[in-house]
Amino acid sequence: MSRSASFLVRSEADLKVDEKSLQQWVVGFCIIRFDLEQGQLIEECYPAGCLTHNEELEVAFSSFPDSVSQNHNRSSIHDCIFFFRVRRQGNPQVAHLPSSEIVEVNKTQASQMTASDKVLKQRSKIQTGANSRYLYGFVFNRQRHDERLKRGGEQKSVVILSHNPFSSVFRPLLQIMGPLYFDIGKKALNFIASYVSMWPVPVPGQLMELPIGNATLKVNLPPAHCMPLDCGVLFEELASPIAPFLPSSQSVPQGLFHDADLFGTFRGLLMQLWKLWELLLIGEPILIIAPTPPQCCEAVAGLVSLVAPLLCSIDFRPYFTIHDPDFAHLNSLQEGAAFPPMILGVTNLFFLKSLRRIPHVLSVGNPVMNAARLPFSARASTGRIPAGPEGLSLPNLSLNRFTPSNFLNAMKLRRDGPLCLMTEHKEAFWSSYAPITKPDTSILNRLIDAGMSPRVEESMSVVNNDILRRHFLELTTNFLAPFGPYYRPTTPSEGSSPYVDPPPLPTFNAEDFLSSLSARGPGKFLLKRMKSNWLDLYRRFLKGHNFLPWFQRKRAVAEQEQYRMWRQARMRADIQHFIARMSELEIVDTFNAIERHLLGELQSTTLEAGSDATSSKLREDLQAVFHVLPKDMQQLMLMNPERAALVRDDELPSKSTR
């Protein structure tokens, strides 16, 4: 499936591309050539006009390694796959507005609404991918070395652009599309576009079968709760049940980049994973430097996946270059200015000097690894490493056990700082942050070191990734558990009226929450794995950039679910049963409440299943309550034409006729 030879190309007469359907998955495809005189040049862009001029420049600069590796033999071809994330240039109003600021604006507006009004407004503000603030580029780069060519070689990249971070889809698609392009030329763009445009609508959190030629990609999409709303996720999808707490299958995604190779990428730095988890949790800026784009991409993707199921709201750039428009801003930060919360993956050593104010620097990867055999380019979507003689030969499993030599090496690294990478690349982590979570040695001891056998390495990597991912999923879920009561929906109690507005979710106050949590503790799971100052981690999380977007989304989903449950309760309610027990004042209040719910159904901008049936039921209930009101009050209400139309016995107008 990953080779063009197994790809059955249809005749041109069969090619039909539905661009609207295509855009549900991709923004476009690009072919970019590196010209020695003119630099990066876009040879093809399909469909035409899918990018602005500035976006074309940014995509072109991001689609090539900073330099050609010097470890290749002459007269050879080397392929690699990596991905990048850049800001879209078409919506300047939101282009530089952090997620937390957008949520704050929504929070202020929402505080002035009733619970039902907020739900209706949230459902009406469904965004599409066209409003996305970021663009993801998945790159198949080919370097061809030939002494007969000028400067001894050439480079060209095939790029898939999307609003969605679906690495599990676009990596295997690139493994087909890249070689196919170099076999048949630009016709490959039309062929791939025709297949992709026939795919069903992407459903977050689901296993999808996507036909491509004579093959089928079977991929798990990341769940809706970890997808930014600007990716085009429907609000209703956020309320869908998430996967079980500990999935039985490692392929069931719990967050973004679930297929990232945690074990292979951080094998030499496993003891640092718990510190990195904390830094991601509280939204600290991290610079990741690696010898090649695939290695730094895999490291950034791995870190983002480490905090699942938390929504990662800080900016992350799997492959960041000096040509990115944001670099000028980062490079001009004044002394003492706080570095923005970002995860930057880079290969250019220049960043060690230009971004020296970034507080946490992580160095990963092996410079002698062949770029064509890197985890991101060669592994299947299940997170596997290729078998055979060309598989990875990773260093022995390192748990940084204490020895005098290890201690001296650590002190030397700390003294020299990240600038020592200018002379020699080595895996290391520079950070003054004091972690609260202790490395779980029981988890580390379960990891299997396969030694130098590539065949055993393939299967052991899957096992080790599963162990690590399950542990950090459990760690994050337990950490977030104390917030549960603040986004837990309530149902109408037995015998109570479902026509009144549901109670609001509990008000959240950070100081009250910390005080209560301090008294009762975070639970046995965390107490066993954290130091006595565990409450400080919650304080940092509350002040960080991940908390508010995640918490606001959880509250919005809870309000949506609560709205749905109370709406269903009104459908099942027997209004005559409640009328018999009501006072005159309660009857009037019930009339006003039913009228408000009915108007909400009629004015809703989204068509829900059973919406007309709900409107009819509410209108019947409204008429029933109206008929038991005193005559003088009935006459008073009939003076309002809109209200009179609701309580008359003629047929309720459908939404399509309003």
* pLDDT in the model for residue 60: 92
* pLDDT in the model for residue 402: 53
**In 64-175, beta strands by DSSP E:** 76-87, 134-145, 153-162
Q: Distance (Å, rounded) from C-alpha 128 to C-alpha 329?
A: 29
If we measure between CA atoms, which residue out of 89, 456, 64 comes closest to residue 292? 64
Query: What number is the average pLDDT over the span 161-179?
Result: 95
Query: What number is the average pLDDT over the span 417-427?
Result: 88
Model pLDDT for residues 611-630, shown as the tens digit of each residue: 788 888 888 888 888 888 88
pLDDT higher than threshold 70 for residue 338: yes
* pLDDT in the model for residue 643: 81
Q: Distance (Å, rounded) from C-alpha 57 to C-alpha 578?
A: 66
Q: How many CB atoms lie within 10 A of CB 563?
A: 22
pLDDT higher than threshold 50 for residue 374: no
Tokens of 319: 């492959």
pLDDT higher than threshold 60 for residue 8: no
* pLDDT in the model for residue 136: 96
DSSP state, 437?
B
Kindly report which listed range (176-190, 512-526, 593-607) carries the lowest average pLDDT score: 593-607
Are the CB atoms for 550 and 508 separated by under 8 Å? no
Kindly report which listed range (224-228, 254-258, 458-462) carries the lowest average pLDDT score: 458-462
361 beta partners: 287, 430
The confidence band for 409, taking pLDDT boundaries of 50, 70 and 90, is low
* pLDDT in the model for residue 119: 55
Of residues 416 and 360, more confidence is placed in: 360
Kindly report which listed range (59-68, 269-278, 385-394, 456-465) carries the lowest average pLDDT score: 385-394
The per-residue pLDDT of the chain, averaged, comes to: 80
pLDDT higher than threshold 90 for residue 12: no
If we measure between CA atoms, which residue out of 568, 589, 567 comes closest to residue 578? 589
Q: How many CB atoms lie within 10 A of CB 414?
A: 11
The confidence band for 651, taking pLDDT boundaries of 50, 70 and 90, is very low
The confidence band for 403, taking pLDDT boundaries of 50, 70 and 90, is low
Model pLDDT for residues 23-40, shown as the tens digit of each residue: 999 999 999 998 777 778
Of residues 339 and 389, more confidence is placed in: 339
* pLDDT in the model for residue 69: 44
Model pLDDT for residues 534-554, shown as the tens digit of each residue: 999 999 999 999 999 999 999
If we measure between CA atoms, which residue out of 308, 441, 436, 18 comes closest to residue 190? 18
Q: How many CB atoms lie within 10 A of CB 480?
A: 18
pLDDT-above-70 percentage for the chain: 75
Are the CB atoms for 100 and 91 separated by under 8 Å? no
Q: Distance (Å, rounded) from C-alpha 657 to C-alpha 445?
A: 67
If we measure between CA atoms, which residue out of 33, 79, 30, 48 comes closest to residue 189? 30
pLDDT higher than threshold 70 for residue 652: no
Are the CB atoms for 422 and 359 separated by under 8 Å? no
Model pLDDT for residues 584-608, shown as the tens digit of each residue: 888 888 888 988 988 888 877 555 5
Model pLDDT for residues 238-297, shown as the tens digit of each residue: 554 443 344 445 567 788 999 899 999 999 899 999 999 999 999 999 999 999 999 999
Query: What number is the average pLDDT over the span 8-18?
Result: 66
pLDDT higher than threshold 70 for residue 70: no
If we measure between CA atoms, which residue out of 333, 374, 380 comes closest to residue 357? 333
Burial of 151 (0-12, 13-18, 19+ CB in 10 A): exposed
SS3 label, residue 647: helix
Tokens of 197: 């445009």
* pLDDT in the model for residue 251: 60
Element (H or E) spanning 42, and its range? strand 39-46
Q: Distance (Å, rounded) from C-alpha 378 to C-alpha 255?
A: 22
Long-range contacts of 393-401 (CB under 8 A, 24+ apart): 393/452, 393/454, 394/264, 394/267, 394/366, 394/457, 395/267, 395/268, 395/366, 396/449, 396/451, 397/267, 397/270, 397/447, 397/449, 398/267, 398/268, 398/269, 398/270, 399/270, 399/271, 399/444, 400/270, 400/271
Model pLDDT for residues 132-148, shown as the tens digit of each residue: 789 999 999 998 877 77
Burial of 580 (0-12, 13-18, 19+ CB in 10 A): exposed
Query: What number is the average pLDDT over the span 575-579?
Result: 87
Q: Distance (Å, rounded) from C-alpha 281 to C-alpha 278?
A: 5
Radius of gyration of the chain (CA): 28
pLDDT higher than threshold 70 for residue 406: no
The separation between CA 65 and the C-alpha centre of its own chain, rounded to angstroms, equals: 25
pLDDT-above-90 percentage for the chain: 46
Long-range contacts of 589-592 (CB under 8 A, 24+ apart): 589/500, 590/497, 590/499, 590/625, 591/622, 591/625, 591/626, 591/629
**Measured CA angle at 95 (ends 92, 99), to 5 deg:** 140
Are the CB atoms for 66 and 348 separated by under 8 Å? yes
Show Cβ contacts of residue 112 under 8 Å, excluding neighbours closer than 6 positions. Answer: none
* pLDDT in the model for residue 448: 81
Q: Distance (Å, rounded) from C-alpha 448 to C-alpha 406?
A: 22
pLDDT higher than threshold 80 for residue 481: yes
Are the CB atoms for 31 and 140 separated by under 8 Å? no
Model pLDDT for residues 106-131, shown as the tens digit of each residue: 444 444 455 555 555 554 444 444 56
Q: 28-35 and 39-46 as β-strands: parallel, antiparallel, unpaired? A: antiparallel
If we measure between CA atoms, which residue out of 418, 420, 302, 425 comes closest to residue 360? 418
Are the CB atoms for 619 and 652 separated by under 8 Å? yes
pTM for the model stands at 0.83
The confidence band for 372, taking pLDDT boundaries of 50, 70 and 90, is very low
Show Cβ contacts of residue 399 under 8 Å, excluding neighbours closer than 6 positions. Answer: 270, 271, 444
